[in-house]
Amino acid sequence: MAVDLEDLGKHLGFAQLPADTEAMQRCLDAAAAVIAPHLIVDDFEDNPAYELSLITMAADFWRQKDAPRGIYGFADGSDYYSVNALPRNLLPAVWPWLANAGLVDATVVA
DSSP characters for the chain? ----HHHHHHHHT-SS--S-HHHHHHHHHHHHHHHGGG---S--TT-HHHHHHHHHHHHHHHHHHT-TTSEE-TTTT---EE--SS----HHHHHHHHHHTTSS-TTS--
pTM: 0.79
Each domain of the chain, given as residue ranges in start order, spans 48-110
For residues 52 and 50, give the distance between their C-alpha atoms in angstroms, rounded to a whole number.
Answer: 5
Task: Return the pLDDT at 48.
Answer: 93
Considering the chain, what percentage of its residues have pLDDT values greater than 70? 76
Would you place residue 8 in the very low, low, confident or very high pLDDT band (cuts 50, 70, 90)?
Answer: very high
Q: Tell me: the pLDDT tens digits for 57-107?
A: 999 888 877 665 555 555 555 555 555 544 457 788 899 999 999 999 888
- Write the pLDDT tens digit of every residue in 13-47: 999 999 989 999 999 999 999 999 999 998 888 89
